[in-house]
Structure 1
C-alpha cells in the first residue's frame, strides 16, 4: 500500500532507525543482483555481536566476512559440498538414522530431534572429521545450545535486546542463560581445535578446522590477517547455527507432507 503512494523504494522509520524498503521483483533484483557488491553489507545485530565479538564470517566487518565466507565455501567444496562424496556422507548418516528409528519398533517419537542429530553429524564430519553417537551427552548439549540460541534469536525478547542492548546487557533475563549456553558450545569447539592443533598434518588436512589452522599459520604476521583463532571458533559455531535447525525443520516438514499424502511416498 505504501509503495502505491511512494513508489517501489521508500524509507520508514522504526524508532530511531531509518529502513529502506524495496518493493517488487524489479527493485529487489536490481539491488541484490545488479548491485550485489553495494548491498552486500549487513547491519549490526547487538545480540549476535555480543556472542561473536565480531569474529567469524557473520562479522560486521564486510571485508572480513566476505573473505571468510569465500574461504569457507571453497573449503566445504574441497570436502565434498555439491559433489558425490558429500552425498555419500549424507547416505551414511541416513543409514545410522534408519537404524535408530528401527529400534523404536513403531513407537511414537519426536522426529525433529532425530533429524537434528543426523544433520549435525553431517556437519561434524566435515568440520571435526568425525561424527557423534546420538546418545553422546556433549553432542546433545551442543545441539541444545544451538536450538535455544536460534529460538531466542527469533523471540520478542531478542528484539527488545537488539533495540536496547546497552541496558539489556546489564539486566537479568533469558538472554543471560542463552549466551552462557553458547559459551559452553564455544568451549567445546575450542577443545576440538586444540586437539586438531596437536594432531595436525599439513600435508593431509582432515577437515575444515585443519584447513583453517593451516590458513591461520600462513597469514600470521599479515597486517590484514582475518584468520585468527577466535574467527575459527565462531566460524564453526556459525556453521552449526546456520545449518542444523533450518535443515532439520525442512526435513520434518517434508516428513509431515509424506505422512499427509502417503500416495506420493
Structure 2
C-alpha cells in the first residue's frame, strides 16, 4: 500500500513539474490538473463559452490544456490575422484533431501537412477552377439546383415544412457535381440517409462526447458511448466515395475528364512510377471525402440559418425581396454580376455568415518551426486554435455583435462596405478552397427562393428561436418547420 501511494505521488509530482516546465514560456492560462488538464472547467461551462470567457480574462493569446495536450488559443482579429496571414508560413500545419485524425489518417486536403498538403491544395484549386469554380460557367448547375428547390417547395402549397434535409441534399448536389459528376434527387432515400447520418455525426462531434474524445483520445477510443457512432455514421459516405472512385476507374476517358475524380485518376496514372507520390487512390478517397464533408456541411448549415433568419425577421426579408424585384425581377434568373448592384442583399448574405458562425473555432493549426509570438516562445509543433467567433463577434468591428444587423455591412449611404472581421472561411493559405463556390451558392439560392416565395414561421416571429442545438466544432442549426408562401 505504501509503495502504491508512493508511485501515485511520484506520478502526480512528475505531471505537475511537466506542466510547470511546459508553461514557463507559453502564454498564460488556467492552471491544468495532472492528466485531466482543464477538462473539468470545459465540462462544467461548455467548450465554446469557456474559450470565449478565457479570452476576456487572459486576452488575445492564452494556453489551455486538452488533457495533457497544451493548445495556444488565439482570439480577436489582429492576433489571428497576424498569425495566419502575416506569419502564415509559420502557422501553416494542421494541428492535433484526434477525431478527424482517426477518420482521415492525415490524408486529404484539410488534414495533411508539408509537401503532401501543398500538392493537394495546388491540384485542387487548379482542377476546381477548370470545372468552373470562380467562373461564370458554374452558374448554370447552381441555378439548376435552385430551380429544383423551387419545384420541391411548391409541392407543399404553403404547408409547414422543415427544409433542413432538403437543403443538405441541394447544397451537396453542387459539390458532388464538381467532385463526382453526379446529382441526387430529394427523394433518394439511400442518399438522404447518408446525409442525415453525416449531420448526426457532426452533432456528436460538437457534443460533450465529441469533446471528450478530442481531450482523451487514447482512453475514449476503447470506451463505449455515443462518440463511437461518429465513425459508423460517416462510413456510408466514405463507402459512397469509394464506389464512385471505382466507377470512375472503369469508365475513365483520358481525353475527356468529367470531374475532379477523373482528373485525379489521370494524375495517378502520370505518377504511377513515382513511389513517393501523394497522388494515389487512398489520398483521392480522403480528399473527396474531406471536401464533400466540409463544404456541404458548412454551406447547408449556413443556408438553413439564413432561411430561419428570413422567417424570424420579415422586415429584412421584405427589403431583400424589394431589391431582388428592382434589380432582377421575378422571372429572370439571377446572375453573379447582379450582386454588384444589390448592396442590401450582399450585406444580408455576409451577415448570415457572420451571425450563423457555423465553425466558431475553426480548425487547429500547428507551428512549422519555433517562433516567438507576442513575447511567448512557441516550439515547433505547438497546437494553435483560432477562436474565429471572437473575430465574427468582435465589438470593435461590429456595433451589435450578438444581434443580426444588416448595418454591419452597409455604410451611411446604404452602400455595401467590407469589414475586416468577416472571417467565416478562416484566413491565410489554409482558408477554404471553395470560398467562391459558397458565395455563389448563397447568392443564387437565396435570390431564386425569394423571387418565388415568402418564408414564414409557424409561431410569432419573436418567439421563433434560432439558437444552435449544439455549439462546439460546429454551431448546429435547430430543426424548424416554416412555410413557403408563393408570391402573387
TM-score, length-scaled by structure 1: 0.91
Are the structure 2 counterparts of residues 5 and 258 from structure 1 closer, same or farther at C-alpha, using a change threshold of 3 Å? Answer: closer
1:116 is aligned to 168
Tell me by how many angstroms 1:18 deviates: 2.4
Q: Return the offset for 1:109.
A: 0.8
Out of 7-16 and 239-248, give the one that drifted further: 7-16
State the 1:159 CA deviation: 1.2
Q: Distance in 1 between matches of 2:179 and 2:61?
A: 41
2:318 corresponds to 1:263: yes
Partner of 2:115: 63
Matched, 1:174 2:226: yes
The Cα of 1:217 is off from its aligned counterpart by: 1.4
Q: Does 1:97 align with 2:152?
A: no
Q: Relative to total residues, which structure has the larger helix share, 1 or 2?
A: 1
1:19 aligns to what SS in structure 2?
A: strand
Is residue 265 of structure 2 the alignment partner of residue 210 of structure 1?
no
Decide which moves more: 138-147 or 98-107. Answer: 138-147
173, 188, 192: which one aligns with 1:136: 188
Once the 2 structures are TM-superposed, how far is the Cα of residue 136 of structure 1 from its aligned partner? 1.2
Partners of 1:46 and 1:161 within 8 A in 2: yes
Going by fraction, where is strand more abundant, 1 or 2?
A: 2
CA distance, structure 1, for counterparts of residue 258 and residue 113 of structure 2:
29
Aligned ranges 1:9-158 → 2 under 5 Å: 9-158=61-210
How much has 1:28 moved relative to structure 2? 2.6
Q: In structure 2, which of residues 274, 289, 292 is the aligned counterpart of residue 222 of structure 1?
A: 274
Q: Is the 8 A contact 1:11 1:20 kept in 2?
A: yes
Question: How far 1:204 sits from its partner (Å)?
Answer: 0.7
Shift of 1:132: 0.9
| Unaligned stretches of 5+ residues in structure 2 | 1-52, 322-488
Runs of 4+ in 1 over 6 A off after TM superposition: 1-7
Q: Offset at 1:112?
A: 1.4
Contact 1:43 1:60 in 2 (8 A): no
Say whether 1:162 aligns with 2:214. yes
- Cα gap change, 1:209 to 1:99, in 2 (>3 Å): same
- How many angstroms apart in 2 are the aligned matches of 1:12 and 1:114? 39
Partner residue in 1 for 2:26: none
Please give the per-residue CA displacement for 1:148-193, whole angstroms capped at 9, x wherever unaligned.
2222221111111112212211222222222122222211111111
Quote the Cα distance in structure 2 between the aligned partners of 1:175 and 1:59.
20
If the length of structure 2 is used for normalisation, what is the TM-score? 0.51
Whether the 8 Å CA contact 2:109–2:291 is kept in 1: the answer is: no
Q: Secondary structure at the match of 1:59?
A: coil
In 2: Cα distance, 1:47 partner to 1:106 partner:
41
Whole-angstrom CA distance in 2 between matches of 1:159 and 1:11: 17
2:290 to 235, 238, 241: 238
CA–CA distance in structure 2, aligned partners of residues 24 and 189 of structure 1? 38
Name the Cα RMSD after superposition: 2.2
Worse-superposed segment, 19-28 or 126-135: 19-28
In structure 1, the gaps of 5 or more residues are: none
- CA gap of 1:3–1:55, structure 2 versus 1, over 3 A, is closer
Could you report, residue by residue, the CA deviation over 1:99-151 in whole angstroms, capped at 9, with x for unpaired residues? 11111111111111121111011111111112111111231122123212222
Q: Distance between the aligned counterparts of 1:183 and 1:23, measured in 2?
A: 34
